[in-house]
Amino acid sequence: MSAAVQGRAGGRRIRPFDWRHNPGFGFFTALIMLFLYVPLVVLVVFSFNANHFVTVWTGFSLHWFVRVAHNGDIRHAAYISVIVGVMATICSTMIAIAAALGFERGGSFRGETSAMGLVMMPLVVPEIVTAITTLIFFSSIGFHYGVLNLVIAHTVFCIPFAMLPIQARLRAIGTGYEDAARDLYGDEWRIFLRITLPLMVPGIMAGSILAFVTSLDDFLISFMVSSAGSTTLPVYVYGMMRLGVTPEVNAISAILLVISAALALVAFLISRPNEAGAAAGGTVAATTN
């Protein structure tokens, strides 16, 4: 008996359950979205406020963005954030590439689940726990090198963010192109450089962007690990807010928000499946092998 016939009872067709049609689902979804995003919209709008008071709108002005651009301390904090973010992104992406290849191309091995759990632990463990344990570790070994401490801590924290898109890319392209290259007597190193690595590029780019955004926006780890002279921009903004929220804080936050959202959008667009491009790239690479 077909599924269509089985789905009929008393002359009526029984429709499959669709959770999106639950009563009140749309209302609660809209309410949650408003709760999450309205404060961000208000922050961006009032960053253009000409008034010194945050909540009193008196007119449009770019005055606070100009003050941010001319503030030497803010520029130094932004410079530290970018330097730490770039170095942590490079290190975490290299480690993520090796880890993704090991999990997807290394075959099953004993302790694979435990190893995956250790790599993904920063996504599960509360960030405050990671920050405190990192601070205790650095203090116990007497490792106090400012920016280098931040780079190491951010690298460890960013590895899973960089690895997930790379691992997903490897899983999507499969092993067909690599197997074809092996049938043509290609050695493993050449197969990696001319086939696997080029096909991994979208995942690597998406993972590196996510790692950079994660490092750029991080506060707790930076707050715990940073020392004098290595203050990142989020930590500097927190110090400003202890004296009260000003339109200048709104301007910095709006800049960080726009940069993070733009980079996240780029990472999403890059990581979208593109099987046709992958097939073409694999075919060309296998042909030139």
pLDDT in tens, 245-288: 778 888 998 999 999 889 988 888 887 765 434 444 444 444 44
Total-model pTM: 0.80
- C-alpha span between 47 and 61 (Å, rounded): 9
For 123-130, the CB contacts below 8 A with 24+ separation are 123/160, 123/161, 127/157, 127/218, 127/220, 127/221, 128/220, 130/157, 130/220, 130/221
Confidence of residue 12 (pLDDT cuts 50, 70, 90): low
In 47-120, which ranges are continuous DSSP H helix? 63-69, 72-105, 112-119
In sequence order, what are the residues at sequence separation of 6 or more whose Cβ sits closer than 8 angstroms to the Cβ of residue 203?
A: 100, 165, 166, 167, 168, 169, 170, 271
| Tokens 């170095």 belong to residue | 87
Distance of alpha carbon 219 from its chain centroid, rounded? 14
What is the enclosing helix (H) or strand (E) of 144? none
Domain boundaries, the chain: 22-61, 65-288
> Who has greater pLDDT, 215 or 17?
215
| Tokens 């090198």 belong to residue | 145
**Can you tell me the mean pLDDT for 140-167?**
92
- Residue 154 · residue 86 · CB < 8 Å: no
In sequence order, what are the residues at sequence separation of 6 or more whose Cβ sits closer than 8 angstroms to the Cβ of residue 1?
A: none
Closest to 173 (Cα-Cα) out of 228, 118, 100 = 100
- The predicted structure's pLDDT at residue 249: 87
In sequence order, what are the residues at sequence separation of 6 or more whose Cβ sits closer than 8 angstroms to the Cβ of residue 19?
A: 25
- The predicted structure's pLDDT at residue 274: 54
Indicate if the pLDDT at residue 17 is higher than 70.
no
| Residue count (the chain) | 289
For 53-57, the CB contacts below 8 A with 24+ separation are 54/245, 54/246, 54/247, 54/250
Tokens of 278: 């992958």
- Residue 143 · residue 149 · CB < 8 Å: yes
- C-alpha span between 191 and 166 (Å, rounded): 17
pLDDT tens per residue across span 169-188: 998 888 888 888 888 888 88
Helix axes 197-217, 147-173, angle to 10 degrees: 140
Classify domain 65-288 at the CATH topology level. MetI-like fold (1.10.3720)
